[in-house]
Amino acid sequence: QVQLVQSGAEVKKPGASMKVSCKASGYTFTSYTLHWVRQAPGQRLEWMGWIIAGNGNTKYSQKFQGRVTLTRDTSANTAYMELSGLRSEDTAVYYCARDPSSSTWRVIDYWGQGTPVTVSS
């Protein structure tokens, strides 16, 4: 069965960087795109970007452009999301999520369990 297993909770100080991993199993990793979505406490889902696992192409939300980097390691079936210049407003649960679409990345059929990140001095 499809599984996306993310790394554990993190506590970071303002100005630091964080890197969340997302290990995929149960499907051909390079045949799908992965989205990263975050949700601040009590807030809505917020799309951050996608990465095509096959060729590494990425697209980022304008809001995070310059601060977020999505990468993947095809030998480990793992995707990564790195966010720099952390501030308190980045406190949220971060999700990786699989998209089965091709060329118009528009739907998420499987989600990771979420990685809580707290940014606090």
Partner 1 sequence: QSALTQPASVSGSPGQSITISCTGSSSDIGGYNYVSWYQQHPGKAPKLIIYDVSYRPSGVSIRFSASKSGNTASLTISGLQAEDEADYYCSSYTSTTTLVFGTGTKVNVL
Binding site for partner 1 (CB under 8 A): 35, 37, 44-47, 50, 59, 61-62, 95, 104-109, 111-114
Q: State how far the Cα of 52 lies from the Cα of 59, in Å rounded to an integer.
A: 9
Per-residue b or e along 36-71, where b marks 16 or more CB atoms closer than 10 Å to that residue's CB: bbbeeeeeeeebbbbbbbeeeeeebeeebeebbbbe
Least distance in angstroms from the C-beta of 57 to partner 1: 10
Least distance in angstroms from the C-beta of 112 to partner 1: 7
Task: Give whichever of 2 and 16 is closer to partner 1, judged by the CB atom.
Answer: 2
Task: Give whichever of 17 and 101 is closer to partner 1, judged by the CB atom.
Answer: 101
Helix (H, G, I), strand (E, B) or coil at 109: coil
Least distance in angstroms from the C-beta of 59 to partner 1: 6
The DSSP 8-state label assigned to residue 25 in this structure reads: E
Task: Give whichever of 15 and 69 is closer to partner 1, judged by the CB atom.
Answer: 69
